[in-house]
Structure 1
């Protein structure tokens, strides 16, 4: 048992961490590991691997991911900022490199092989980008003469250009939505709101005409014509699951769903555990986002406020995109369900996000003492 009287790093961490957040992150990862038993064996067998290949790899990825999350949760806000800057520099450099030597999968260059591992640099860019932009917005709010907003706009332009070049329109939309939300919280002028809206609409229209695969997905979504096998089987799995599911291991449609262990794991969960289970899963993500926004609302420090809000928005919007595709509410887009789907880069990167959230939402004694000093009556001065 860790005592409050102790002053070591572990004791300070234990008594200042948001244990609800920590429990939620680990609980969601546990659900993801459980669902990997349901979703991945059929995928492994289809490509000639032993049935529990992806289950074992999922477990192998979970161990370092949890370690990364816990390690980052010990950081101070200043250390979070410095770590994010380092991660952003490395990930952006790798995103440039991936355009030339990256592994091409389904028409996109998003992965690079390092030491026998396939890494997607854009996944690690996302949390670092949020934290660095939060710092730039906060510096501009603290000292308007510092062009923090301008630097944030330039950084966004660089990141968006690299994502489009891969091309990865889904990550581009996610990054744009989170960045726009943070800019709005930082006091975005109305002219920028209008320009961002026009730019976003123009970007989507351009993507439709420039990228054939984007046009194909949107056309299939709007008309229901063409190759809609993924969406059709996902919908069939959800319908077959009904309210309470077919039971663990009893799913049939899941066996033919492409990418059942990654992009369409929500449909597998619906078939085996039912719509009620999926509603509970949606509720967990909702509570996670609302708690983060509540922390941000109470936070006095601009950097902490913008960073926490941006990080939870990133997790929330990514969840919405994944679930929306599974429910046929959005055009098909390969995007994982945070903390749930299989994927090494995705899982480690989401745990970087979780570690940053835990670090920035800690109840720091020095911060409370500083807040109390604002209302302390100086010696010799009469209290009102």
Structure 2
């Protein structure tokens, strides 16, 4: 309902004034998303170990194609998107890369459980894929890169990776980011406007200046203030006509405007319930891979939701992160459903013997058993 309400702005800007096609499009995204969720949850989660090894090179190739393709949407730079030929729709490859990478990291951590390892032994199998994927996402999407890196660090910490090695990785990550920013400043033609956009958003957040760049967040706060306790009512938002990305990045502000503080708190409570259930499923899983898989693909959903809400109330700089399962946009919905399907697979198969869960790590075995 909030997405349908906010789509009136899109209908005015990009359509013929009719909001029905946006409602139908969003409904189709949700139907396909829940079909993905249902289908994935039927797959025994032990297969995801080997599938992550197969999918990771494919994801890296897709990220390279995305950078080379340089798709624009609405005249704006949108190099994080790839246009699928023949079909004609666009797909955000970084969201798929995040799910695959977290699954791959969970697989590796479960394989070295209770083993004495050195930092050198983990460089090629663990950190090279991580930094390669992050390096391919970073030029177009800093916020997604930062979230993925934070989730990987949290996952390896929970997985028992030595703290002294983790400190080296944090230092290396900070160094690589610094080098990227300096390189982008020195050669602005290579990554046009991206670093400047990051810096301006952080400066606007810290300096609290009344600039044009603050337009989004100011409209968001007006919407939230207008909602008060019970809201203006479904479909009665005013700021949806002025707030850019009202149906995606700032949908939470529209929800609070129409449903009030009560609606905003209820939605936040639902995400916290999801977090609680993720912890329960991870705790009850019989295998280390199952535990780490639930945390790796499930926790980013809640984390992203909290960031989206924090941006709407100006507790966090503008990031461009959508509200999972709520915002419009097919890629976000599909990848969130993919992750939840994997979590449900762990919940459904937790009674399988641990030995069986920990042995399927060969991609060829996965393909042969799937066939």
The correspondence for 1:81, drawn from 42, 49, 71, is: 49
User: 1:1-384 maps to which residues of 2 (within 5 A)?
Assistant: 34-49=1-16, 50-105=18-73, 106-114=76-84, 115-141=87-113, 143-144=115-116, 147=121, 150-165=124-139, 167-202=140-175, 210=184, 211-225=195-209, 226-227=211-212, 228-367=214-353
Equivalent residue number for residue 30 of structure 1: none
Q: Distance in 2 between matches of 1:207 and 1:254?
A: 36
Post-superposition offset of 1:334: 0.8
Deviates further, 137-146 or 301-310: 137-146
TM-score scaled by length of structure 1: 0.82
- Could you say if the C-alpha distance between residues 244 and 200 of structure 1 is closer, same or farther in structure 2, counting changes exceeding 3 Å? farther
Q: What CA deviation, in whole Å up to 9, does each residue of 1:196-220 have, x standing for no partner?
A: 4434555665666641111111111
Cα gap change, 1:220 to 1:298, in 2 (>3 Å)? same
CA RMSD, 1 decimal: 2.4
Judged with a 3 Å threshold, the aligned counterparts in structure 2 of structure 1 residues 219 and 204 are, in CA distance, closer, same or farther, namely farther
Contact 1:140 1:148 in 2 (8 A): no
Closer, same or farther in 2 for the Cα pair 1:369/1:254, shift >3 Å? Answer: same
| Aligned twin of 2:369 | none
Gap change, CA 1:290 and 1:97, over 3 Å in 2: same
SS in 1 for 2:314: coil
Q: 1:88 to 1:369 in 2, by over 3 A?
A: closer
Which consecutive residues of structure 2, in runs of 5 or more, have no partner in the other structure?
185-194, 357-371
What CA distance in whole angstroms lies between the structure 2 residues aligned with 1:302 and 1:149? Answer: 21
TM-aligned CA deviation for residue 365 of structure 1: 4.1
**3-state SS of paired residue (1:308):** helix
Q: Structure 1 331/38 Cα, relative in aligned 2: closer, same or farther at 3 Å?
A: same
After superposing the two structures, state which structure 1 stretch, 126-135 or 39-48, moved more: 39-48
Rounded to whole Å, the distance in 1 between the matches of 2:216 and 2:178 is: 24
- Distance in 1 (alpha carbons) for counterparts of 2:116 and 2:22: 50
> 1:54-106: per-residue Cα shift (whole Å, max 9, x none)?
21110111121111110000111222233444443332211111111130354
Whether the aligned pair in 1 keeps the contact of 2:52 and 2:101 (CA below 8 Å) is yes
| Superposition TM-score, scaled by structure 2 size | 0.84
Rounded to whole Å, the distance in 2 between the matches of 1:290 and 1:155 is 30
Distance 2:321 2:295 in 1: 21
Q: Distance in 2 between matches of 1:306 and 1:149?
A: 20
Conservation of the 8 A alpha-carbon contact between 1:92 and 1:121: no
1:21 corresponds in structure 2 to none
Distance 1:258 1:366 in 2: 48
Aligned pairs, number: 337
SS in 2 for 1:89: helix
Name the structure 2 match of 1:376: none
Secondary structure of the structure 2 residue equivalent to 1:65: helix
Equivalent residues of 1:96, 1:162 under 8 A apart: yes
Return the alpha-carbon distance in structure 1 between the equivalents of residues 307 and 177 of structure 2. 16
Q: Return 5+ residue gaps in structure 1 as ranges.
A: 1-33, 371-384
Asked whether the equivalents of residues 44 and 349 of structure 2 are also in contact (C-alpha less than 8 Å), the reply is: no
Inter-partner Cα distance in structure 1 for 2:284 and 2:226 = 44
Secondary structure of 2:94's partner?
helix
